[in-house]
A and B are shown apart, each in its own frame.
Chain A
Amino acid sequence: MRILARIFLLGLFFAAPVAARAEPMDFTEKLDIGISTDEISITSDFRGADLTIFGAIDGFNANLLAQGKYNIVVALEGPKENTTVRKKQRVFGIWINTNSMTFELVPESYSLSSTRDIDTIAPPGGMNNMGIGVNHMPLTPIGYIGDGSNLTEFRDAFRRLRETTGVYQRDPGGVQFISSSLFKASVRLPADVPNGVHIVRAYLFRDGVFVAAKALPLRVVKTGLEQAITRAAHESPLFYGITAVLLAVVTGWLASIVFRRD
């Protein structure tokens, strides 16, 4: 079972964005990261938390490091799902969902932390290629989208909604060097962090050029009564439904006994 799990996790590393996988060979720098745990249990009173990730740069150029030319970006990506954005419009005086657009496999949550604002780390083109940052992650529409003129509008709405609800976050300054080549990054887990396998991705940039990347899986498992209920509702729905009905029958029946007046 453990071996199977390892193989599964290995698969996740290879599922990293294409550009990040194709590491250029002529750089000597290597990036290493570690987290204290590969599994986080979340109880029902969870109100969000900070996850700290430690890392080190190996094979660095001491000169460049001293000049602060190295920059690090750490992202915590939630599980990916196809996601639909809907737009309401007024039709005959009533507000109705008229248009929609579905984006392919976007993360359910996304927390970004970096040494400085990512737009000052590398040119936007580079960030777009690698899909780093809320404004650069790929939002690929599925299905017919007409002439695509409303693509920008839906993408902007998606990013704005995800950021205002707090499931997408960024913290320029969340990555700090604690010694010359050791760094510490803190990423935020939102209160409604989704269940499943999250991936911590770290990227190293040297003077605006992408140098190395590393990824680690992080399993988020919710625990507690509420989670048991959610699991029951999704895994044995028939049993769950019958239980809900029986609960109602017993409540109604008990009430008729307790409050019987004849």
Chain B
Amino acid sequence: MTVYLPIAELSVNILIILGMGAAVGFLSGMFGVGGGFLITPLLIFYNIPPVVAVATGANQVVASSISGAITHFRRGTIDIKLGTVLLCGGLAGATLGVWLFALLRRIGQLDLVISLAYVILLGTVGTLMLWESIIALRRASKNETVTLRKPGQHNWIHGLPLKMRFKKSKIYLSVIPVATLGFCIGILTSVMGVGGGFIMVPAMIYLLRIPTNVVVGTSLFQIIFVSAYTVIVQATANYTVDIVLAFVLMIAGVIGAQYGVRVGQKLRGEQLRALLALLVLAVGIRLAIELVIPPKEIYSIVSAGRGF
């Protein structure tokens, strides 16, 4: 059963897209991540033009993040003030990102930059996560207690000026690192179609020392608004949001996520992280291979009317 994607300008098998959405939804529910970093490369593997995959991925992130954010909002685990500072940086970053996106597309290097960015990001994050979870698994098998660094500990980031009090997080922190983090994630959202939670959460915990109970909710708060903004700007600047593709993905995704959450609760934290790390690395390696092997066709055609 095929469905025509009007913006991507190609016919795809709807069952494959549904399967992709459900699988990524399942994994995102299981690991508690948005899944943008998986959906975009998968779409690219399925020959969706990278420009469409990125913008549509951001749209899918909005849907997959919203139910999590609602839950956190009900529980009161969102620091709105901190989230707003992150968001200000994020919107600026996303604006720069979309401009960068259009520039790279014009000079014909967008596909390359998207692939390279994914290879670097997934490679680094995957390796770090795998390393960390192997250490944690070893410790667990020796029955050692895991000692996290004390949250009270300070680093150079806490010496920066322009400090602000965030009551809900119970911290007194400069807005500079917070807005900078938001800015960087904003660029990633618009260039790569990811929410960026898998980078933002560790950065907030380890670099900014924000208490873990508000970290996930607050990052979801920022992700929703930055992704939504990215979708709207991509739609107006580059016409690359495929609403049909996005809708099929998000329907399958939100259903898949419910089952993922249930499976995730039965697995141990270290095991989950090791599995996620392997998955992240596998996607990164697959993209890296694509860049290195000789392409079937070294020429490509782009015109104002069609083609990406």
Contact = CB atoms under 8 A, between A and B. Distances in A.
Interface of A: 44, 79, 81-90, 93-97, 100, 106, 108, 154, 157-158, 160-162, 192, 194, 196, 226-227, 229-230, 233-234, 237-238, 240-245, 247-249, 251-253, 255-256, 259
B71 A256 contact: yes
A238 B235 contact: yes
A90 B9 CA distance: 29
Given A160-B299, A229-B244, 5 more contacts: A83-B304, A108-B303, A154-B299, A244-B59, A255-B258
Given A95-B291, A97-B108, A229-B244, A79 B231 contact: no
Contacts of A95: 291-292, 294-295, 298
B305 A249 contact: no
25 contacts: A79-B305, A81-B305, A82-B303, A82-B304, A83-B303, A84-B301, A86-B108, A88-B295, A94-B291, A96-B112, A97-B108, A162-B301, A192-B9, A233-B239, A233-B241, A238-B235, A241-B235, A244-B231, A247-B246, A248-B59, A248-B63, A249-B228, A252-B63, A252-B250, A259-B254
Given A237-B235, A237-B239, A108 B6 contact: no
B301 A85 contact: yes
* Interface size of B as a range: 35 or more
A84 B108 contact: yes
B291 A245 contact: no
B70 interface: yes
B233 interface: yes
Interface in B181-240: 228, 231-236, 239
B64 A252 contact: yes
B306 interface: yes
B67 A89 contact: no
B109 interface: yes
B62 interface: yes
A194 B64 CA distance: 35
A154 to B, nearest CB: 8
B211 to A, nearest CB: 23
B275 interface: no
A241 B233 CA distance: 7
Contacts of B300: 85-86, 88, 97, 161
A135 B228 CA distance: 47
B93 to A, nearest CB: 18
Nearest to A240: B235
Given A84-B303, A95-B291, A241 B241 contact: yes
Contacts of A249: 62-63, 66, 228
Interface string B241-253: 1011011001100
A258 B201 CA distance: 27
A247 B298 contact: no
Nearest to B235: A241
A88 B165 CA distance: 52
B70 A256 contact: yes
B250 A251 contact: yes
B301 A248 contact: no
Contacts of B125: none
A83 B239 CA distance: 19
Given A226-B6, A248-B246, A238 B63 contact: no
Contacts of A44: 4
B213 to A, nearest CB: 18
Nearest to B56: A244
Contacts of A233: 6-7, 235, 239, 241, 243
Contact of A255 (B6, B112, B228, B254): B254
Contact of A108 (B65, B235, B241, B306): B306
A241 B236 contact: yes
B95 interface: no
Nearest to A91: B112
Contact of A244 (B243, B294, B305): B243
Contacts of B70: 252-253, 256
B66 A252 contact: yes
A201 B69 CA distance: 60
